[in-house]
Structure 1
Amino acid sequence: MVELSVVGILAGLDDAALADVERHINRKTFSSGAQIIEPESDSSDVYLILSGKVRIVNYSVSGREITLEEIGAGGCVGHLSAIDGEPRSACVLAVNNTDVAIVSPANFEKIVKNHPSVAWNVIHELARIVRTSTRRIVDVSTLGANERVVAEILRCAQTEITDDGSALLSPVPVHSDIAGRVSTSRETVARVMGTLARKGLVNKIETGLHVPDVRRLEEFLSESIH
C-alpha cells in the first residue's frame, strides 16, 4: 500500500499525524482513461494522487480539448471546490492506472485545521496554480503558436536539465498533448518539432526526446520572439 507521505501537501507530518489523516480518507484506483472529476459537477472531494498520473483538461466552445496540466504522484486535485464550494472548473482524467486517496470536503477542512503545516502547503499549491495560470495567459496573449510550442518544450527541458546543460524528456512528448497544453494543433506541433530537429535543438533517441543544449533552445526562442 502506497504511504500518504508521498503527497506533497502532507510533507512534514509525522507518523501520528499521517495516521490521523489516514482515518479521514478512502482509497480508490482509477484505470487508464477513467474520468475522476466531471466538469461543472457539484462534488467537492479532494483527490490525493498516490501513484500514477492525471490530466486536467477543459474544453473550448468548439469542443476542442485543452490540457491545463498533468499531475503525478504526490499531487492533489479537487481542492479548489473543497475550499470555495463552487462547481468543478475542469475535468480530471487518469492518464494511466492511478491510485488516489479521496478526502471529503468536511474531512479536508478538519485535516487543514488540525495540521497547520498542511494549510501552509495548500497555500503554496494555490500560489503555484496562480503562477501557472498567469504564465499561460501571458503566453497565449504574447506568443504565436510556433513560439508557444517551443516555450513548452523549453519549460519541460528546464525541469530535467543536467549538469552538462542537456535534458532528456522521457517518454517523448506526444504531439496532441503539447497541442492541448499550448492551444494549437497537432500539425503545428509536428511542424515546429521538425524545425527544432533540423536545427539540432532536439533529437529523438531510444529513451526519449533529447535536448542537447537547453541554453541554445532558450536563445532560439528569444530570437524567434524578437
Structure 2
Amino acid sequence: MDSNVCGLLKGVDLFSELTEEQLGLLANLVVVQDFNRDETVVLEGDCSMKALYLIASGTVQVYMTGVDGRETILSFLERGDFFGEMSLIDGEPRSASVRTVTDAQLMIIHREPFLTLIRQTPEIAMSLLSEMSKRLRKANKQIGSLSTMSVSGRVAGTLLNLMEERGMRIHTDNGQMVTVIHNRPTQQQLADMSGTTRETVSRICSMLVKANAIAMTGKDIVIFDETALQEKATKG
C-alpha cells in the first residue's frame, strides 16, 4: 500500500469517510499520472478507456461540444474532485470531454477492479451514489437556467455557482465580508458556461462592477453583493 496515494485519496471528498483499511484497498488500484496544462484527458463519445479520475492537484474543465463546434463548459473541477463516474458505472461512451486548465496530477482507477471493490465495500458505492445525485441536481438546475433565464441572469447564475464551488469567504481591511473566487475563468470560459458570447459577458460584468456587486482583480473575482447577483439570476 502506497501511503502517499492513501494521503491523496483522503483529500478526495468521495472517499473522505473511508477507513484506513478501505483506503488501502483503494490505493492498490490507483495509477497516478501527470498532465500538462491544456491537455485533453478524455473526449466526449470516447469508449476506449473506462476509468474514474480523481484530482490530486490542478484544475480541469468539463465541457461538451455542439454540432456547430462551440464548446459549453459544464464545470471546473479542482483538487479533491473526480470525474468519469458515469462511464465507470454504465460502461457507455464518455458523456463529456475533460481538459486540463493547469498542470494537473490525476489518480486513475480502472473500471473492472473498481466495480469488484465496490461490490465488496458498499460504503464506497453509497458515497459514489450520493455524489452522483448531487451532480444530477446541479445539472438539472443548469438546464433550467439555460432555458428560462435571460442572458444577464445566466451570467449572474454562473458567478453564483462558481462562488458556491470555489469561493472563499474573507474579511476585507475595512471589515466587510466578501467572497473571493481565485484563478477566475476567462471571459470566454464564463461565456461558454453561460451559453452566450464573450462580448456579452464583458458587458454584463462591467455593469456588475459599476454596481459594486463584484470586482475583477488580477486573477480573482471578488463578490461584494451576493444578494444583487441572486436578484439578477432570478429576475434577469
SS at match of 1:86: coil
Check conservation: 1:165, 1:214, Cα contact below 8 A: no
CA distance in 2, matches of 1:88, 1:16: 31
Query: Kindly tell me: are residues 86 and 206 of structure 1, through their superposed partners in 2, closer, same or farther at Cα, counting changes over 3 Å?
Result: closer
**Structure-2 change in CA distance of 1:62 and 1:139 (3 Å):** same
Which stretches of structure 1, 4 residues or longer, exceed 6 Å deviation after superposition? none
* TM norm structure 1: 0.91
- The answer to whether the aligner puts 1:87 opposite 2:93 as a matched pair is yes
Q: Is the 8 A contact 1:167 1:213 kept in 2?
A: no
Q: Which segment drifts farther, 156-165 or 52-61?
A: 156-165
Q: Secondary structure at the match of 2:169?
A: coil
Task: Report how far residue 94 of structure 1 moved.
Answer: 1.3
Unaligned runs of 5+ in 2: 171-175
Contact 1:165–1:215 at 8 Å: present in 2 too? no
Shift of 1:218: 2.1
Unaligned runs of 5+ in 1: none
Quick one: distance in 2 between partners of 1:207 and 1:81?
Answer: 34
Instruction: Please state whether the residue corresponding to 2:38 is helix, strand or coil.
Output: coil
C-alpha distance 53-196 of structure 1, shift in aligned 2 (>3 A): same
Residue correspondences, number: 224
Once the two structures are TM-superposed, the CA of residue 158 in structure 1 deviates from its matched residue by 4.5
**Percent identity over paired residues:** 24
One-letter code aligned to 1:19:
G
Corresponding position of 2:197: 185
Question: Does residue 132 of structure 2 align to residue 120 of structure 1?
Answer: no
Residue 65 of structure 1 aligns with an amino acid whose one-letter code is: E
Change (3 A) 1:120 1:89: same
Aligned equivalents of 1:9 and 1:187: distance in 2?
A: 37
Which residue is equivalent to 2:169? Answer: 162
CA distance in 2 between counterparts of 1:45 and 1:172 reads 29
Structure 1 residue identity aligned to 2:159? I
Deviation at 1:29, TM superposition (A): 0.8
Q: 1:213, 1:131 → 2: CA distance? A: 25
In structure 1, distance between residues paired with 2:154 and 2:232: 12
- Over residues 2-22 of structure 1, what are the superposed CA-to-partner deviations in whole Å (9 max), with x where a residue is unaligned? 522112221222222211111
Measured against aligned partners, the alpha-carbon deviations of 1:77-104 in whole angstroms (never above 9, x if no partner) come to 1111111111111111111111111111
1:1-226 map, 5 Å:
1=4, 3=7, 4-42=9-47, 43-158=49-164, 160=167, 162=169, 164-206=176-218, 208-222=220-234, 224-225=235-236
